[in-house]
Structure 1
Amino acid sequence: MQTAPPSQHTAALPLLFFAALIWLGLLAYAHPWHDLDLRLGDILMRRAIATRPPPPEIVLIDIDQASLDHPQMLELAGNWPWPRAIHGELLAFLALQQPRAIVFDLIFSEPDHFRPASDQVLEDALRQTPAYLPLVVTNGETSRLADLPPLLGIRPGRQADPEAGLALLAPKALSPEVWRTGLINFLADSDGLGRSYWLNYPHAGWSLPSLPARVAADLGLPVPAQERLPLHFYGQPFSHLSYASLFLSSLQENPGDLPDLRDKIILIGAAAPGLHDLRPTPLGAATPGPEILATALGNLIHQDYLRPLPPSLAPWLGALCLSLLALASRRQINPLLQGTGLALLSLVCVLAAYFLLHYNHLWLPFSTLLTLWLFYAACALHAYLRERQQREYALQLFGRFVDPRVVDSLVAGKALAVAQEGQRQEISVLFSDIRGFTRLSESRAPEEIVRLLNRYFAAQTEIVFTHEGTLDKFIGDAIMAFWGAPVASPQHASQAVAAALALQERLLAFCEELGEDGADFDVGIGVHSGPAVVGFLGAARRLDYTAIGDTVNLASRIEGLTKGVARILVSASTREACLAEDPKRFTFIDHGEFPVKGREKPVRLYEPRSPA
C-alpha cells in the first residue's frame, strides 16, 4: 500500500500555528515564563542603571559596623541594641537641621523594661518632631484592624470585613499617639528576589499603606492607586552618613562641618551585616533594607518607577507576533534566513527594551520574544520532519525507477508534486529488446534462464541509473527507460544515446560470458526524443511512474526496426538534439527512411557511434 503523500499531512502546520496562538494567550494570563522573564530583565536593568544616580534629597544614616564598634558609642550606649534615648537625642538634633521628613527603619516593638525612661526620651522627641516608624505584618496574635489607631493609616474598603484581624509588629514601646507608621514588609517575587515594594497591603477588604507611600502622600506627592510599586533601582550609591559620627557631633557645643540636611528626607536604618537587615534584589543577594526603602521613596519622589507597556500597545504587539509567526511558518523562506531575521529581531527587541527602560521607565517583558523563538524551533522541527517524510516518500515512489542520487534532487525540488499530477515534458525514450532469447531458453534449464536474465537486467538497470535515466518497466525480456523526467535535463537526448552505447558494450561482455550460447544472443535498441506526459498512473494500491504518448510509441517502433539494420537506431529528433548539445560527442550513420505503422510519412533513422 502506498504511503500518504506529504501534501496530505500539511494540516500539522495550521495546528502548530493554532498552538502558538494558544501559547500567546497563556503568556498573557498564566505567565509560564515569569521567572525567566524576570531574570532576563534583571540583566538588562543592571546594564541600564549602571550610571543612574539616586535622588540627592534622600540621605541614609547608617547604623553600620563602624558605629557599633566605635569606642565612644560603646561607652555611651553599650552594645546593640542601644537605649532608645540615643535615637531620641539624634532625632532632636536632626530636627534643628530642618529636614522634610525623618524615617526610622527600626522596629521599636517591645518596651525597655530596664530603661523605661529611655523609651520616654524617644517618645518625647517624636511628639516634638513627628517621624515615621515602621510596621511589619508577621505571624502571631492578631489585632482587630477596626480597633487600631488612626495614625496607622489603615483604610477600610467597600467590602471590608469589620472583624478582620492581622498580626502586626507595631512600635508598642511608644504611645499610639506618636504612631505615624507604614508597612516595610519585604515583597519577594516567585524566585525570592525583591523587585517591588508594597504601596497598599490588602487584607480582607482593608488596605495598609506602606512606609514609602505614607511619606509620599504626606509630602503631597502622587501615589499610584495600585498594590505594588515596581522598583527602578539606582546604579550609583545613595548619600550615606555614619550614625556614630553624626550622633557624636550632635553632642558637641559647636559641631564642626555638618552635612547640609535642610529639606532632605532622612532615613535611619541598620546597615551592619550582623543586624540582619539584608535582602536579595537584582542588585545583589545582600542589599540593605534601608536602601530598598530609599529606592521606593526616590521612585515616588521623581515618579520614575517602572511601568508596564501601555494597554494601547498590546494590540500592535500581538499583531506583530502573529505576523512573525505566519512568516516563520512559510515553507518558501529559507530556514537560515528565518533564523537570521529572528536573531536580528531579537537584537532590535533587546535594544528597544533597553531604550524604554533607560529613557521612558517602561518595562518590556521578554516572554513574547521567547515565544517567537520557541515557535521558530517548532517550525524548524516541523520542516525537518516534513522534509524527512518527503524524502522517505520520494524514495518509496522513485527508488525503483531512478538512481538514489536523483532522489535527493527530487526531495529539494517540486518534481514530486509534478509527478503525482502528471505533466507534459520533453524526454528521450529508450526501448531495448533481447534477440535470440528463444534459442537460448531451449538449451538451458528455466531456473538458469531466470538467473541469466536477472544478471542482464541488473547490468542494464545499473547503466540506466549511471546515465541518470529513469527505468520505466520490464516488458517480458524488454526494457523501457526515459530521460528528462522526473528531473528535467537539457541533455536528455545525449544521455539516452550514451546509455544505449553503454548497453551495447555491456551486451558484448555478456555474450563473451555465455560462450557459444551467446553467439545468437543480441539486442535491439531504439531511441526517440519528443514530448510525452510523465507521471504516476494507476490506482492507490498500485502506481507506476511512466511516460505515455506518441513519443513512447515511436521509440518502441524504432526498436522493432533495428533487426537486420543496426543494433541501435535513433530518430532524427534525437540526432538533432545531440548535435545541438555537443556536435563532437557522437557520430551518426544515416540508414535512410523507414515506414512506421500508424504514420503516413516514413521516419529517417540513424545509427549512433562514439567517436572513439
Structure 2
Amino acid sequence: MSRMFSAFKRHALRSLFSLCILGVFIAHATGAIHLNLLEGLELMSYDARLRMTMSHQKIDEIVIVDLDEKSLREVGRWPWKRVIVSELIKQLFDKYEIKLLGVDIVFAEPDESSGLPVMEQLATNELKDIPAFKTALESLKPRLDYDQLLADGLNFRRVILGYSFDYRAETTQVGLLPPPVFNQQATAEAQQHFGIHLLEASGFVANLPLFQDNVISAGHFNVIPDSDGIVRRVPMLNAYKGELYESLSLAMARVLLTEPFVEFGTVESGGYHSVEFIRLGKTKIPVDSSLRTLVPFRGEQGMFPYISAVDVLTGKADPALLKDKIVFLGTTAQGLLDLRPTPVANVYPGVEIHATLLAGILEGKIMQDPAYADAMEIVLLLFIGLVMILILPIFNPLVAMLGTVLVIMFMFWLNIRILEELHLIFPLASALLLMLSLFLFNMSYGYLVETRRKKQLAHRFGEYVPPALVDEMSKNPSFNISMESESREMTVLFSDVRGFTTISEGLTPKDLSILMNAYLSPMTEIIHQHRGTIDKYMGDAIMAFWGAPLEDPHHASHAITTGLKMLQRLEEIQSDFQKRGWPPIKIGIGLSTGMMSVGNMGSTFRMAYTVLGDTVNLGSRLEGITKQYGVSFVVSENTCHAAPEYLYRELDYVRVKGKDKPVAIFEPICLKTESSESLICELDLHKQALSEYRQQQWATAQASFTKLATQYPERKLYSIYLDRIAYFQANQPSETWDGVYTFTTK
C-alpha cells in the first residue's frame, strides 16, 4: 500500500510541475506575461520557414535602376544635381519607355548647386545697374533652375515619389505630404470599429511642394524592424495627425491596378471584428492589427534585374530590359545607408524590399498572419501539453524521445505546407518549445528517480575504466549503458616485460610482488589519464583498449600517447628500481587499430568486459615482435593512419604468426611538431633505403642502410636489413617475392 502511495505521489508531483510549465506558455500566449525568449524563438522559426519556402523565382517585369557605386564613381557623389536626375527620368520614359517609376529617394531640399540664387542676389544688389547682366541672367535662368527642370521632368509622367515618416520624439516637418488615403474621421471610425493599433508618426521628411505637385502620387518608404532589429514587415498605411498615408509599394499597386480607393477588409463573426486585409478592388493585401504586411521575400538580393543608373543616363542599358517595365529608382551603395538586415540576408537593399512587396501584391502572394492565430496557438498548446503530461510518464525514454521528435517533425512539416499552399503563418516556436520542455522535464525527473540504478551500473564499469570516465558516463544521458557485445572500431594495447622469467628468478616472491606493483601502478595511471580501459593484467603483461565503453573518435591518438608516456615513465622509475637493488626493466608495446567485438563476455560462471577479434590478436603479435627489431613500440598500419599527427619509422612489411594477410608495421617516434631536422633526414633516408630494398636494388639499398647503420649504430633495424640484403645478394629471391617477411613464431 505504501509503495502504491509513493508511486502516486511521484506521478502527482510530476504532473503538477508539468502543468506549471504548460501554464507559463499559456500565460505568454494570452499576453498575461511576456517572455522575450519565446518571442525571439518565434521570429527565428519564422525566418527558418521563410528561407525554406522561398521560391527563388526571378521577376523581369519589375526592374531596379540602381544608384550603385559605379554610378557614384562616374557621375559624382550623391546628391546629384537635379538636372541629372531630370535627365535620368526623361531617359527612362522617353528612350526606354517604362510603364511606371517609383522613387525610393526623397528630394526634401532645394538644389542651389547651379549658383542661381547667388546670381539673383547680385542682380538685385551689386549688379542691379548693369542691364546686360540682368538680360543674360533671364536667358540663363531656365537652364540654371535645376529644381524646376526636375519638376518639368516629373510632370505628365507616371512617377510615384517616396518620402519618410519620423517616429522620434521631436517633431520634423520638411516638404509637402501627399493627400492621405483616409482622413481623420475615417481613421477614427476604423480604430473604433476594428481596434486597429496604428503606427503614429511624429513628423516627416517629404519632397518639395514643387515636386509633389507635379507627380501623380507619393508613398512612404519606411521599414520598421522587429524587436531583434530584423526587417520582416512594412506598414502599408501609416498614421500622422489622425490621417492614414499609403506606402510606396501600395501607391504603385493602386496606380497599376487603376484603383482610386483603398478599403479595409474585415472578418466579422459573433461580434468579433478585425481587419485582416486592405483591398484594392479585387486585390487583397493581408495586414496585421497595425496595418503592417509581411514582406514576401523570394530569395537573396538579385530577384529583380538591376541596371546601373549611369548606364541609363548614357544610353548603354539594354532597352529590352526596361520597355514597358515597372521601375524602382533606389540605391545599393553602402554610403547612402539604404541597406537593411532581413531574414534572408544581413545586408539587403531597401529598394528591393519595396520591389518584393509590389510583386507580392500584384501576384496575390502576400503571407497572412491572421488574428485568429493567437486563439489557435492557445488551443494547440493546451492540447499538446495535456496529452504529453498524460502519456510521457508511461513510455520509456527511447519511445518518448522518438515520439516527441516525430511529432515535432510533423508539426514543422505541416506548418511549412500551410505556408507554401495557403500563405498562412501560424505560431510554431511556442508549441515546439513546450514539447521540448515537457520532454526534458519528464526525462530529467525519470533520471533522478533512477539515479541509484545508474550509479550501480556505473560502479560495474568502474572495474574497467578510470573514475573520470565513470563520472562522465553517469552524467551523460545519451550513454548506452548496455554491456552487450557490439562491433566497434577501437585500438588495443599489449605490453609485456622483457625477460620477466629471469627477473622473477632473482627475487623473492615478496620483492617480486612489490616490484610489479611499483611498475604496474604508474603504467595503469598513464592509461587512465588518456581515457584507456584496462582489460586485464596477465602477470607482467597489460592489456588495455580505447573506444569503449565510451566512444572515442581519437582512440588511436590516445593509445599512441599512452605508449610513449609509458616508455618515458619507465625510464624515470628505473633509478628508484636501482636504489632498491632491482634489475632494470624493459618492455615491449604493441598497438593495433580496427574493428573488434567489445562487451561482457565469458561463461555462466564468470563474465568480463573485454575485446575479441583479429585486430586484438594482431596487437598481441605486434607486442611479441618488438624485440625482433630492437624497438620498444610497434603499431599497425591502421593505427598509423588513424593518428597522422605522429612521426613513424616504418619497420617492415610482415606476415605475423597465425595471419595470412601481410601488414605494414611502424615504430611511433614523436609528434610531428616535436621532430628535429636530423630526425627528418634519417627518416627520409630510411624511406629511400626501404624503397630500394623492395625494388631489389641491392647495391644502392646496401649503401643507404650502411650509411644509416654507421650514423646510428644503436639501431638494430638497419643491421637486420643489411643481413637480409647480404642473403639476397647470394640467394636471389623468387619472382613472386613481395618484400614480406613471415614470422613463424609468436
TM-score (norm 2): 0.46
Query: Where does residue 677 of structure 2 map in the other structure?
Result: none
In structure 1, the partner of 2:402 is: 340
After TM superposition, the structure 1 = structure 2 runs for residues 92-491 of structure 1, keeping only pairs within 5 Å, are 92-96=90-94, 97-115=96-114, 117-138=145-166, 139=168, 142=171, 150-151=178-179, 153=181, 155-156=183-184, 157-158=187-188, 166-172=202-208, 174-178=210-214, 180-203=217-240, 205-220=242-257, 221=280, 222=283, 223-224=285-286, 226=288, 227-235=291-299, 237-249=303-315, 257-308=318-369, 311=372, 315=376, 318=379, 322-323=383-384, 325-330=386-391, 331-364=393-426, 365-386=428-449
Aligned to 1:565: none
Q: Is residue 62 of structure 1 aligned with residue 66 of structure 2?
A: yes
Cα gap change, 1:165 to 1:378, in 2 (>3 Å): closer
CA shift for structure 1 position 206: 3.0
Alignment partners' CA distance in 1, 2:435 and 2:183: 44
In structure 2, relative to structure 1, the CA distance for the partners of 1:378 and 1:173 (3 Å cut) is: same
Q: Return the match for 1:83 from 81, 87, 91.
A: 81
Q: 1: CA distance between counterparts of 2:179 and 2:373? A: 40
Tell me by how many angstroms 1:29 deviates. 3.3
- The one-letter code sitting in structure 1 at the alignment partner of 2:80 is W
* Cα separation, 2, equivalents of 1:140 and 1:122: 33
Which of 41, 48, 51 is residue 43 of structure 1 equivalent to? 48
Identity of aligned residues (%): 27
Give yes or no for contact 1:130–1:178 (8 Å, CA) kept in 2: no
Deviations, residues 402-430 of structure 1 (Å, cap 9, x unaligned): xxxxxxxxxxxxxxxxxxxxxxxxxxxxx
Structure 1 match to 2:17: 16
* Distance (Å, rounded) in 2 between the aligned partners of 1:239 and 1:133: 21
Question: In 2, distance between residues paired with 1:186 and 1:312?
Answer: 24
Work out the number of aligned pairs and report it.
376
Q: Which has the higher contact order (CA 8 A, sep 6+)?
A: 1
Is the 8 Å Cα contact of residues 27 and 367 (structure 1) preserved in structure 2?
A: no
SS at match of 1:353: helix
Give the distance between the partners of 1:256 and 1:371, measured in 2 at CA: 55
Does the residue aligned with 1:59 lie in a helix, a strand or coil?
A: strand
1:327 and 1:282, CA in 2 relative to 1: closer, same or farther beyond 3 A?
A: closer
Shift of 1:57: 1.5
Equivalent residues in 2 for 1:568-583 (5 A)?
none
Distance 1:256 1:239, change over 3 A: closer
Instruction: Report if aligned partners of 2:381, 2:431 keep a CA contact under 8 Å in 1.
Output: no
Give 1:342 deviation, angstroms: 0.8
- Alignment RMSD: 3.5
Alpha-carbon distance between aligned partners in 1 of 2:69 and 2:173, rounded to the nearest angstrom: 39
Alpha-carbon distance in structure 2 between the residues aligned to 1:213 and 1:257: 28
Change (3 A) 1:275 1:219: same
Is the contact made by 1:277 and 1:289 (CA closer than 8 Å) also made in structure 2?
Answer: yes
Deviation string 1:362-381 (CA, Å, 9 cap, x unpaired) is 22432211111112112223
5+ residue gaps, structure 2, are: 115-143, 193-199, 258-279, 456-746
CA distance in 1 between counterparts of 2:335 and 2:384 reads: 55
Q: Is the 8 A contact 1:110 1:173 kept in 2?
A: no
**Cα displacement string for residues 90-110 of structure 1 (whole angstroms, at most 9, x for unaligned residues):** 222322344332101111111
Query: Structure 2 CA distance, aligned partners of 1:349 and 1:99?
Result: 46
Once the two structures are superposed, residues 241-262 of structure 1 have per-residue CA deviations (whole angstroms, 9 ceiling, x without a partner) of 111111111xxxxx88522434
2:435 and 2:97 map into 1 onto residues whose CA distance is: 56
SS at match of 1:93: helix
Give, in whole Å, the separation in 2 of the partners of 1:319 and 1:36. Answer: 17
**Contact 2:173–2:204 (Cα < 8 Å) also in 1:** no
What secondary structure does 1:363 align onto? coil
Quick one: which amino acid aligns to residue 127 of structure 1?
Answer: N
Offset from partner CA, 1:260-299 (integer Å, 9 cap, x none): 4343210001111222211111122211111111111111
Cα pair 1:153 1:182 within 8 Å, conserved: no
Change (3 A) 1:122 1:141: farther
Q: Does residue 34 of structure 1 match 2:39?
A: yes
Q: Quick one: structure 1 residues 315 and 225, their matched pair in 2 at CA, closer, same or farther if it must change by over 3 Å? A: closer
Q: Specify the code of the residue in structure 1 equivalent to 2:59.
A: P
Flag the 1:85–1:282 CA change in 2: closer, same or farther, 3 A. Answer: same
Q: Distance in 1 between matches of 2:49 and 2:384?
A: 26
Question: Counterparts of 1:357 and 1:206 in 2: how far apart (Å)?
Answer: 33
